[in-house]
Structure 1
Amino acid sequence: MDASTALTTAATVAPVNPGFGHFIAQSDAVGKFLLGVLVVMSVASWALIAAKGLTQYLRNKRSASFLDFFWNARSLDAVQAEISTHGARDPFSHLSAHALHAQAHHARHGAARLAEAGSANDFITRTIKKVLDEETTRLESGLTTLATIGATAPFVGLFGTVWGVYHALLAIGMSGAGTLDKVAGPVGEALIMTGIGLAVAIPAVIAYNAFNRGNRVFSARLDAFAYELHSFLTLGEAPGAAAQQGANVRPLKPATA
């Protein structure tokens, strides 16, 4: 055997280094499609995490600022003027704006339509409940996508692994080489898809649980504020407001009709 033939034979039998690059290169259309699905899931998951994290930070900051102004305002007219000037930029100001508008509207026009039927108390209650439902829907937007990614990404990765192992075993069977070094490499490469699926799912699940808990806490605070706001608009006082904010807080005066 001459030198050129020996080099050719050595290059032919040289072992291929297994790894992610080799796995992608050897994957068929189904494997590449599943990998693409996981990449899309990962991008969507991190985009939602970043967007909802920023939204949650701004919402909490603006809500704290509005509540501080609300409980230290001299009257609801001042609250209405503040909302009219700067707009309703958080759920608490949004709820206050609609409740104040409902009270003023019913005082001026009464029950002119079926949507306004009943007493002022009933109309304000329906308005507050509607706004609470809207805010709850807004808080939960995007969470279904995170939950879906967290639940399905591991199975997509597992399917990619099964598909890769299946083709690896077929190739090994056709070659007739059943030694450990011929089996471990392709099977180990196929497990990469399971790892990618878990890497996509774990951040989505953690973010979903964190956002879900934050939303429950925020919704509880909003419900408590809605109760106090409703009590003040209908009874002229908000139970527990002075106790929460301290003795230096001035009681609010009703808005003029």
Structure 2
Amino acid sequence: MTVLEQLTQGDGVSRGVAALLLAMSIASWVVILWKTWFLRGGTRDLLRSVAAFWQAHSINEALSHVKSFDRSTLVLPSVVALQALASTPAAKGSLGATGGRDAHLTRVLRVALHGTMRRVSAGQILLATVGATAPFVGLLGTVWGIYHALTGIAQSGAFTIDKVAGPVGEALIMTAAGLAVAIPAVLAYNWFGRVIGRIEAELEGFAHDLLAVFGERPEAGLPAAGTMLI
């Protein structure tokens, strides 16, 4: 008897559990494939983009260099925020200008960094949820299959293989399905977490360097977008 036949012979609860596991598997694999594509070489491109930024002679040139290296747009939002601040500083007397240039630069870099990290971390909650709950969803199908086996024995009044084999086979399939859905999600979550942690550390270091370089000279202010950096 095939797996499909085992599932089609089950009742609504069994089919619902199977459908839920299938939906969880599809969702987790969509996230895994998308994040693998999105984060491909992400750390390498990030380091190259940062190096290209510091080798540029102006903010506009740095922006052009970063665009050519930053395929996943990890560094670009911070550079765009810096260029926007250099081109159009906050109006005097506005709340944005309150606290001085350092506070304004810190604010725009924080907004850019948080936006990037939201994109990078997208899907992690789904992977964690699937990895944590799929075994228990499979266990529900297992318990339900064993219940059917016991009910069949009680109704027949005799312990026969045909009354037990189907429900027990269904229960074992549900157990295996729950593990098959959870294991890839957990492995992907852990691997992506390591990559995201490295990316976050590099971006925070880059933002700190930008604040140190462009905020340490109160008398000079931010250079204009086309001004020589060195």
TM-score (norm 1): 0.76
RMSD of aligned residue pairs (Cα, Å):
2.7
Residues 52-97 of structure 1 deviation map (CA, whole Å, 9 limit, x = unaligned): 1100016445434422321221233421455689999622121012
Are 1:205 and 2:186 counterparts? yes
Are 1:162 and 2:165 counterparts? no
1:35 to 15, 18, 23: 18
Paired residues, what number? 222
**Is contact 2:56–2:65 with CA below 8 Å preserved after alignment?**
no
**Is contact 2:6–2:166 with CA below 8 Å preserved after alignment?**
no
* 2:202 match: 221
Gaps of 5+ in 1: 1-17, 237-252
The structure with the largest alpha-carbon Rg is 1
**More displaced stretch, 35-44 vs 78-87:** 78-87
* 1:70 match: 53
Residues 201-226 of structure 1 deviation map (CA, whole Å, 9 limit, x = unaligned): 01001111111111111100111111
Using a 3 Å threshold, how does the CA distance of structure 1 residues 81 and 156 change in structure 2: closer, same or farther? closer
* 1:146 match: 127
Are 1:173 and 2:154 counterparts? yes
Residues 165-206 of structure 1 deviation map (CA, whole Å, 9 limit, x = unaligned): 111211122122215675355324312101100100010011
CA distance in 1, matches of 2:43, 2:14: 43
2:9 to 23, 26, 33: 26
* 1:134 match: 115
Secondary structure class of the residue paired with 1:91: coil
Secondary structure class of the residue paired with 1:223: helix
The one-letter amino acid of 1:195's match is: A
* 2:80 match: 97
Identity of aligned residues (%): 38
CA distance in 2, matches of 1:182, 1:83: 67
CA distance in 1, matches of 2:67, 2:37: 25
Secondary structure class of the residue paired with 1:27: coil
Gaps of 5+ in 2: none
Secondary structure class of the residue paired with 1:219: helix
CA distance in 1, matches of 2:64, 2:19: 52
CA distance in 2, matches of 1:174, 1:77: 80
**Is contact 2:77–2:113 with CA below 8 Å preserved after alignment?**
no
* 1:14 match: none
TM-score (norm 2): 0.84
Using a 3 Å threshold, how does the CA distance of structure 1 residues 81 and 186 change in structure 2: closer, same or farther? closer
**Is contact 2:138–2:179 with CA below 8 Å preserved after alignment?**
yes
CA distance in 1, matches of 2:123, 2:110: 22
